[in-house]
Structure 1
Amino acid sequence: MAGGRHGEETTMLAALWLAAKPCTDEQLATVGLAWEGGTFSKCLMYNGSALDGASEVPCQHGWEYDDTWYPQTVPSEMNWVCDDMHIVSNVMFYAQNIGAALGLLFGYMGDMYGRRPLQLACVVMHVVSRVAMLFTPSLILLFVVAESLVVAAGGAMLESAVSVGTELTDIRNRSCINCMAWVGLPIGLVSACLCVQMFPSWKHSMLFAVLCCLILLLFCRWFPESPRWLTCRGREEEALSVLRRIAATNGSSLPPFTLQVLHRVAKAKRDRVGYLAIFSSWNLFRNTLLLVIAKSLCWLTILALVLSVGIISVNPLVAVSAQAVAQAASVLLQHYCGTHFGRRWSTVACLALVGLLGALCVALLTAMQPMCFDFAVGVPSVAIAVVVMAMQFWSSAGASVINLQSIEVHPTCLRQITASIEYAVTGVCMSLVPYIVFQGGSVDRRLPFVILSAMHLLGALSVSFLPETALQRLPESLQDAAEFGRGRPYWSWRLIAPLSYVQGQ
């Protein structure tokens, strides 16, 4: 929070008058602070005495910032407040959109040149972007470009790692691989909160992130290439070599059906790989569209709830950490539900619950009668925090299972390209979050939750038309994707493994 600095006497008088509401014009004129929206303005002051007809002008003596939770941030260092407050939202908006465009390039790279080169490129981009951000906050254009590199590399990095894991795993353990990968996200959120408390400046936190990425870079040499991708590209001998090396590391041998699987996957090498391949069949296009909608909703909500801690009057570090704990628990619960009850209805349940909780949050905020100076009576703010944490719980659960569905629905030859499209659309949607939360929340604190609730209830209906992917063989070719899930009844609940499972997957 920023406020005009007018000396100790002015601050003391203002603090005393905060307890005596409403303030008279004579009192305001004496203090010199402008009156705006039922409270003292944080950006305006009177140029002289208001009793003498002085006009309102921007604060002339700089700003003091509330450093209770954040010792130093980029906005506080660059004074992105008041007339420059839009810069914060603009940076996030343009970074998300540029990152979405770059993410399409990363996705194409993953399917054309391999998962392993993509993973290495993403780690390098994380290092380069964070170093660049340290020196470019005063150069908005370069700062946005540096931030966009993080956005572009983040989704592709996670997706390539999970893709390789699921492509190496049998149909009964794919959910476990996805679960282990997604547990890392809440761990990262909690670590970020700890970094804020440990380091006094955002630059120190950024340097710590660079160090973590450099350490991760050392482990890239052990990151294997996907045998399925190698086979799809006609490199069956290399794929077999990778599988033998992995089996030797695990102290086991390859199963007898390995060559059969490789020969089946090799059929996909005749497919034309590229973004236009998504339109090769209506079934593939429809499934991709539904997954784009579902993933956008979940990630939009996750970011919106993290940012909303600033409008619900709670400790932001505690709130974000609590949301992270909820995310970790949700991933574990979703792993269980997705394994035992299927991916499709688990996703529907997650989105529907987020929509209902958003409606509950609107009702609670309506029950909180605002007083002057933005305090509230009635339902305590802790109740709002609990509901928000529950929304984060189910949003994270939905995002986890949707990510697994995307991997299981799309063929190997298009798995990274379709993932990049999903993250690109998601990035564009997430670029609107700051405007919804900060500007929409400034108009009415209920508005962000009204929007989230309505979108999730509609999203729950749409994703119910996705095919069930639990215990199903991964599609390898465009033809497999065109047939995947067709002919199955809508009201199906039982999970049935294909007969070909006995021959291995």
Structure 2
Amino acid sequence: MADPTPLLSHYDQPVERKQPRSLDEAIERCIGDFGWSQFLQAILVSFAWVFDAQQTFISVFTDAEPSWHCTQVVHESVCNSFSNICLLPKNSWSWDWPAHTSIISEWGLECSSSIVRGLPASSFFMGCLTGGLALATLADSTLGRKNMLVFSCLMMSLSSIFTVFSSNIWIYSALRFINGFGRATIGTCALVLSTELVGKRWRGQVGAIGFFCFTLGFLSLPLIAFINKGSSWRTLYLWISVPSIFYCILVRFLVHESPRWLFVRGRKEEAVSTLKSMAQANQSVLTMSFSNVLIEQESWNADLYSSIKILLNKRWAFRRLAAVMLSGFGIGMVYYGMPLSLGNLSFNLYLSVTFNALSELPASLIIFFLVGKLNRKGSLLGFTILSGICSVLCVVIGKVWPVFQIGLELVSFFSACQAFNMVLIYTIELFPTCVRNSAISMARQALVFGGVFSPVLVAAGRKNELLSYGVFGLVIGVCGLPVLGLPETRGGTICDTMDEEEHKEKAKAAATAMLAKTGSP
């Protein structure tokens, strides 16, 4: 519920309110920690993660190699389920389902190299990487959080529709690249926008709503694929692209821009109007003036890529960015790689994808209910190490007890999901408003960059699982170590400018030095 007392009292009212020390405090006193308006806005914004997940993992079904069976008795001695179909006569075997169910069977790619077969998935992740680098700062500079979210969703949806008309693997891969390019900033914009609409007490829980929606999108894929079992792979793209276009329209007309971003960019009138709309939706009356509230403007943020420059030039910001990006690389390799490698396991593909999607649900629940109690640094380190150990054991124990392989894979993926969620929340709290979207975009690009290598490792793992699950475990375990040098942010106040963040760090360092000097506990 919003604070019923105005931020700044009128001149004829005797009661004085303490002047807010920061924009963060001023906004919280205006609209409160959390209200129905913010809740509904967060739900609508976070729903973008549903379409993000569907586009990310749809290749598990559309690019899968279908099952097949022998058709001629004369070849029974050499044709069986363990045979290499590339060494068999074409008329001795046939696909179990119509050829149009997968790009592999429709375009006759079953005997192509692993690089060609993995090209669409790798192209998608390369598009995500390129799009993230090209579009990362637009949400911080010119477009803002809301417009960037609409633009990204629309580009992703339209390219997905055009994918339906692909006639060969090369056109298909090119469109998947464009699809990934547009999709690159959806998660970051949705996460940053939803968390900037609420007070600091609820940032973690609101961020977890996006993770729930991502799980919902991932979980919907095996259901959609099962309903369309035997249908063309093109039908799956229509199922996930058309609804997202209608979603773009809803966001354009129903979602508010971040008032924090509007203030930082000097658009005070729009910010005040947004806050008044949110207060009215929360059944509160907002009488306020920000004329006396200190809002520092960043003079350096004058061009499109200034936020990237400042992140690299500021030593403390560069150290934080390098640590979260290195951790994100290892997490991304496991997070995106394990679902793609499920076809290598001796387990039903629909069930294994469903189990992996379901494992994201408790991961999101843990983040939602315990994010306020979990230390960021310790949790992130623990999840990466656990994921790495289980991934390696998946290879070692899987050869002795295959029945435990899917269990270890689920634990490893579950831990990677937790680490994925935590590294994004941690990044939000490590950087101020003026560069937050750019910083979290860079962290996500590191996650995606790890995913670029996943299809290659998955293809190599078809012959030797050590090259997939073994490498996954080693990389995520090692890449999680740099977080040891990061500050703990749980329960802290987020800053809006670089100077404010530096002042806070200097104050902490001075307090730590004073405690060390006096020997106080």
Q: TM-score, normalised by structure 1?
A: 0.80
Q: How far, CA to CA, are the matches of 1:482 and 1:469 in structure 2?
A: 14
Match of 1:89 in 2: 118
Kept after mapping to 2: 8 A contact 1:234/1:266? no
1:443 Cα offset (Å): 3.4
Match of 1:365 in 2: 398
Kept after mapping to 1: 8 A contact 2:126/2:449? yes
Matched, 1:475 2:495: yes
Q: Percent identity between the aligned chains? A: 18
Q: After superposing the two structures, state which structure 1 stretch, 130-139 or 195-204, moved more.
A: 130-139
Kept after mapping to 2: 8 A contact 1:231/1:266? no
Which residue identity is paired with 1:259?
A: F
What RMSD, in angstroms, separates the aligned Cα atoms of the two structures? 2.7
Match of 1:29 in 2: none
What whole-Å deviation, never above 9, does each CA across 1:423-478 have from its counterpart, x for those lacking one?
A: 33332321110111111x13311332221222222233211222212211112112
**Selected match of 1:338 from 371, 375, 380:** 371
Matched, 1:185 2:249: no
Correspondence 1:219-258 to 2 at 5 A: 219-220=250-251, 221-254=253-286
**Selected match of 1:411 from 425, 432, 446:** 432
Q: After superposing the two structures, state which structure 1 stretch, 82-91 or 220-229, moved more.
A: 82-91
1:281 Cα offset (Å): 1.1
Kept after mapping to 2: 8 A contact 1:409/1:484? no
Correspondence 1:193-342 to 2 at 5 A: 193-199=222-228, 200-220=231-251, 221-254=253-286, 259=290, 263-268=293-298, 271-272=301-302, 273-342=306-375
Q: How far, CA to CA, are the matches of 2:78 and 2:507 in structure 1?
A: 70
Instruction: Give secondary structure in 1 for the equivalent of 2:106.
Output: helix
1:353 Cα offset (Å): 1.1
Match of 1:464 in 2: 484
Shift in alpha-carbon separation, 1:253–1:350, aligned structure 2, 3 A:
farther
Q: How far, CA to CA, are the matches of 2:299 and 2:293 in structure 1?
A: 11
Larger Rg: 1
What whole-Å deviation, never above 9, does each CA across 1:3-44 have from its counterpart, x for those lacking one?
A: 9987522354446x77xxxxxxxxxxxxxxxxxxxx532102
What whole-Å deviation, never above 9, does each CA across 1:332-358 have from its counterpart, x for those lacking one?
A: 113334311322211111111112212
1:132 Cα offset (Å): 1.3
Shift in alpha-carbon separation, 1:353–1:380, aligned structure 2, 3 A:
same
Q: How far, CA to CA, are the matches of 1:165 and 1:181 in structure 2?
A: 9
Which residue identity is paired with 2:242?
A: L
Q: TM-score, normalised by structure 2?
A: 0.78
Kept after mapping to 2: 8 A contact 1:104/1:417? no
Matched, 1:77 2:106: yes
Shift in alpha-carbon separation, 1:76–1:481, aligned structure 2, 3 A:
farther
Match of 1:354 in 2: 387
Kept after mapping to 1: 8 A contact 2:331/2:450? no
Q: How far, CA to CA, are the matches of 1:172 and 1:240 in structure 2?
A: 22
Matched, 1:131 2:161: yes
**Selected match of 1:8 from 64, 67, 72:** 72
1:125 Cα offset (Å): 0.8
Kept after mapping to 2: 8 A contact 1:104/1:421? yes
Kept after mapping to 1: 8 A contact 2:156/2:180? no
Kept after mapping to 2: 8 A contact 1:344/1:463? yes
Match of 2:471 in 1: 451
Match of 1:431 in 2: 452
**Selected match of 2:94 from 61, 64, 75:** 64
Instruction: Give secondary structure in 1 for the equivalent of 2:435.
Output: helix
Match of 1:380 in 2: 402
Which residue identity is paired with 2:358?
A: V
Q: After superposing the two structures, state which structure 1 stretch, 290-299 or 147-156, moved more.
A: 147-156
Shift in alpha-carbon separation, 1:3–1:295, aligned structure 2, 3 A:
closer
Kept after mapping to 2: 8 A contact 1:409/1:475? no
Kept after mapping to 1: 8 A contact 2:118/2:456? yes
Kept after mapping to 1: 8 A contact 2:137/2:307? yes
Shift in alpha-carbon separation, 1:305–1:255, aligned structure 2, 3 A:
farther
1:71 Cα offset (Å): 7.5
**Which sections of structure 1, spanning at least 5 residues, go unmatched?**
19-38, 46-58, 368-378, 493-505
Which residue identity is paired with 1:94?
A: S
Instruction: Give secondary structure in 2 for the equivalent of 1:335.
Output: helix
Which residue identity is paired with 1:8?
A: Q
Which residue identity is paired with 1:319?
A: S
Number of paired residues?
Answer: 439
**Selected match of 1:118 from 132, 142, 148:** 148
Q: How far, CA to CA, are the matches of 2:178 and 2:447 in structure 1?
A: 15
**Which sections of structure 2, spanning at least 5 residues, go unmatched?**
1-64, 513-521
Instruction: Give secondary structure in 1 for the equivalent of 2:94.
Output: strand
